[in-house]
Amino acid sequence: MSGLNINAITKKFGSFAAVDNVQLNVPHGTFVCLLGPSGCGKTTLLRMIAGLEEPTSGAIVLDGEDITPLPTHKRNLGMVFQSLALFPHLSVGDNIAYALRIRGASQGDQKKRVDELLSLIHLPGFADRPVAKLSGGQRQRVAIARALALSPKLFLLDEPLSALDAKLREAMQVELRQLQQRLGITTIVVTHDQREAMTMADLVVVMGHGKILQAAPPIEIYRKPADAFVADFIGITNLLPAEIDGAGRTTILGTAIPGLAMPAGQTKASVSIRPEDVHLGAPGGSAITGEVSFVRDLGGTIETFVEVRGTSIIAVTTPRERHDVPVGAKVGVTLPPESCVVLGS
Ligand code: ATP
């Protein structure tokens, strides 16, 4: 099979499983983001793929070859870490050419490849600059070029953008994604930033406690989270209690939601609904009645918090669809059943 195959990988530190029987197929050319809270095992999984950590059990297969026994330098991969680890005393060109030089490439071949890579990272003519004089974003790009110098099959990055300020970081996310698409290289990035994962990934892998909780395209993770942990981790969501009432109807906070089905045999569940799917209108009819407790106007969007029986429901609207709902106003909240994801209790 072309691509990366992570086959029942486990890593134990003593009796603690940092990565617990993880199974993942990554087709060739896919951009994967490993996403999850601190300590969930992302870095340990990446380090096993890189050959920096030996799995307790399982195998890592790249393009049909079992690379588990191979040392890092024989795995044909490029790596970038948060620290970047550029050589501060070397020029940009010498940093990028480092692996080529070690492999005995001629001066001419080194220069040609360095020039190619510098144009790829939008820093043509930078070969002779000292690394110490570069900006944060420029260093980031040089670290990426250095990792790609040997045209690896697999590109691994651990929190590569976390040292950058928010604006530069967002720009670099787009740049990294565009670069990966141009090269078509299978890429795995560790991040704990869900926006970063949504921006860059073909496949988002959400981890918790050493296990994969969900692996799917970003929009699917957002729209159809597998459980409450994933729903909560991926963006703001409303997690609301649903139950079956005496008449057999599904209710949320005491109001029947026609068209919302509970899993067979279940009388209680959590329902996730994104704030942009919540509709606000006049109270009455089949809507849930609540009271506006807080309004946050962010310019492009408006978040309205509605209290219903001690629970807050957040609705996000744009200024164009704005309703006049001051704090204290009574409103009707409509939860379209097709936007509700029943998560189980
Ligand atoms: P972060 O985002 O904070 O880097 P992470 O998801 O990358 O977290 P890991 O670094 O993979 O998490 O760590 C997973 C768990 O394994 C943590 O509980 C960590 O303390 C533990 N762990 C990692 N390396 C070792 C080690 N060498 N010895 C013992 N425990 C370890």
Dump the DSSP string for 270-325: EEEE-GGG-EEE-S-TTSEEEEEEEEEE-SS-EEEEEEETTEEEEEEE-GGG----
Ligand 1 atom closest to residue 43's alpha carbon, by position in its atom list:
7
CATH 3.40.50.300: which residues of the chain? Answer: 3-231
Counting ligand 1 atoms within 8 A of each CB, the residue from 10, 22, 40, 81 with the most, and so the one to mutate, is 40
Q: Which pLDDT tens digit goes with each residue over 249-289?
A: 999 999 999 999 888 888 899 999 999 999 999 898 889 99
Q: Which CATH architecture best describes the domain 3-231?
A: 3-Layer(aba) Sandwich (3.40)
State the distance from the centre of ligand 1 to the C-alpha of 44, rounded, in angstroms.
6
Average pLDDT rounded to a whole number, residues 226-247: 88
State the distance from the centre of ligand 1 to the C-alpha of 1, rounded, in angstroms.
30
State the distance from the centre of ligand 1 to the C-alpha of 73, rounded, in angstroms.
23
One of 2.40.50.140, 2.60.40.10, 1.10.1050.10, 3.50.50.60 is the CATH number of 238-342, namely 2.40.50.140
CATH 2.40.50.140: which residues of the chain? Answer: 238-342
Q: Which pLDDT tens digit goes with each residue over 142-151?
A: 999 999 988 8
Protein residue with its CA nearest to atom 29 in ligand 1? 13
Q: For residue 89, what pLDDT is reported?
A: 86
Predicted-complex ipTM score = 0.95
Q: Where are the alpha helices (DSSP H) in the chain?
A: 42-50, 92-102, 107-120, 136-148, 166-183, 194-200, 218-223, 228-233
Ligand 1 atom closest to residue 36's alpha carbon, by position in its atom list:
6
pTM: 0.87
Check residue 339 and report its DSSP letter. G
Please name the residue that has the structure tokens 């406690």: 209
Protein residue with its CA nearest to atom 9 in ligand 1? 41
